[in-house]
Amino acid sequence: MRSWYGVRRLYETRFRERLLLALLLLIGGYYIIWSINQWLSLDAAALRFDFVNYFGGAQAAAHGGDIYANFKRSWGTQAWVVAYIYPPFFALLLAPLTPLGLVAAGRIWLLVVHLAFVLALGLILRAHPELSRTHRRLFLLAALSFMPVYLNLKFQQVATLWLLLLVGTLLAGLRQRDSRSGLLLALAASLKVTPIFLIPLFFRLGRRRLALLASAMLAAVTAITVLASPGSWQFFTVVLPRIGLGTANWDNGSIDGLVSRVVEYAPGIAGPATQALAKVVIALAVAVVVGWTLWSARGGADSSWTLRLGFSALVTSLLIVSSVTWQHHLVTLLLPMATAIAWIAARKAPAHYGCWLAAAYALCWMDRRAFPLPADLLVHSRMEAALVLVGTSVKLAGLTALWVLLLRMLAYERRMAIRLPLPRSEIEAGQPAA
């Protein structure tokens, strides 16, 4: 096949770069047109999914009300879509927009979401100087074609802002700017709780000053936001424990979602201990996946690669074990994917690494709607239950594939550290005097 004309041209660097540039301009143009159309057509109906909940929380914060009143009133299957469930920091962040009204505030927030996405892409490229022009174009093409990106924009979600803060944390950490990295990590964990697990990662990598600064700044931001919004302490005592239980919703792509669906379709699979066993399985999954990721981030030949790969593997693992992982949350995978592409290019890894990465990307791009699942969202037979479990776990399969790939890269870095000879000065220093 390599000798065929169309295939042979792909092995020509100049032709390949021109082709990637043409495709990038095409998808970039689509992104711009789609985004302008979305901004111009934005109305209250388009904001009804998520932003209206953010706006409600911001209004409560602006007027000294209970941010989580709607959540407490409507907890159950609908609380995920009709209530504000984020830390108080996000509500206070949006509070200055509330006098503008829902639609005007939504337009401004949508611009912020787009700006965060563009800035995040730029910082990702700066954090990976190993990417050649071809690889940069390939990454940008993959980013602008990624379905979770468009879902995030459609629902005006926070994932692009979260991605920007995470990339900023990593880039500042790579440049030894501990104060800046710690502040950005604190802000990221104040926006969504899971980045708090990055603090033990920095401890594991020997960056204790950064970890301590991040812990102190997170405590300060939390204290300030709780004091600025009376009653917001309920996020830790009421909201977080409840949303931590997860949901069996078909769009929840985490291990929690899969286990919850299994229990829903087979409530007696382990007899009366089914519910308790499910909780144990979910807790063990968190401990094993996160724990193994932290353990693997050690002893690499290149501290820069160990930090980038460990950081990316942990970001991926948090999506795997989160109580809820919607598809638009997968926007944060752009950082791990860029790290994987850069590592493959720098280490000249075998072709199967690239194929593995492409398969993970495809699985994370896909949605359960690609499968012939029941249109009424109800399971009527065991065969349908099995099909639903497979179709709703496609994102989990992609996340797991990417996570395992990053762990393999970390293992390669550790093997390189063992094989590398000591510098001559260290060898001579260890020799006994004559």
pLDDT at residue 138 is higher than 60: yes
Strand locations in 116-242, DSSP E?
A: none
Cα 266 from Cα 275, distance rounded (Å): 11
Distance of CA 119 to the CA centre of its chain: 16
The pLDDT tens digits of the residues spanning 170-207 come to 999 999 999 999 999 999 999 989 999 999 999 999 99
CA proximity to 158, closest of 116, 120, 198, 216: 116
The helix/strand count (H/E) of the chain reads as 23, 0
- Beta carbons of 59 and 65 less than 8 angstroms apart: yes
What is the reported pLDDT for 431?
46
Burial of 432 (0-12, 13-18, 19+ CB in 10 A): exposed
User: Which of 43-52, 255-264, 369-378, 414-423 shows the highest mean pLDDT?
Assistant: 255-264
| CA–CA dist 25, 154 (Å, integer) | 22
pTM for the model stands at 0.91
SS3 170: helix
b vs e for 381-404, b when ≥16 Cβ sit within 10 Å of the residue's Cβ? eeeebebbeebbbbbbbbbbbbbe
Interior/surface letters 32-70, b for 16+ CB within 10 angstroms, e for the rest: eeebeebeeebeeebbeebbbbbbbbbbbbbeeebbbbb
Q: What is the pLDDT of residues 302-353, one digit of tens each?
A: 789 999 999 999 999 999 999 889 999 999 999 999 999 999 999 999 999 9
Query: Which residue ranges make up each domain of the chain?
Result: 8-243, 251-418
DSSP 135-168: HHHHHHHHHHT-HHHHHHHHTT-SHHHHHHHHHH
Q: Where is pLDDT greater, at 245 or 321?
A: 321
CB 300 within 8 A of CB 417: yes
In Å, how far are 81, 83, 231, 427 from 77, measured between CA atoms?
9, 11, 24, 65
- Residue 82, CB half-sphere, CA atoms under 13 Å: how many? 11
- pLDDT tier, 3 (very low <50, low <70, confident <90, very high otherwise): low
Closest-CA residue to 366 (of 83, 202, 146): 146
Residue 81 CA, chain-centre distance (Å), reads 20
The answer, yes or no, to whether residue 425 has pLDDT greater than 60, is no
350: left (phi over 0), alpha (psi -120 to 50) or beta: beta
The Cα 225–Cα 356 span in angstroms is 43
- Count Cβ atoms below 10 Å from residue 304 Cβ, excluding itself: 14
Q: Of 129, 303, 160, 205, which Cα lies nearest the Cα of 214?
A: 205
76 secondary structure, DSSP code: S
Q: Radius of gyration over alpha carbons of the chain, in Å?
A: 23
Give Cβ neighbours of residue 432 (< 8 Å, ≥ 6 apart): none
Question: What is the pLDDT at residue 9?
Answer: 62
Most confident range, picked from 182-191, 269-278, 371-380: 182-191
Please tell me the least confidently modeled range out of 72-76, 219-223, 327-331, 334-338. Answer: 72-76
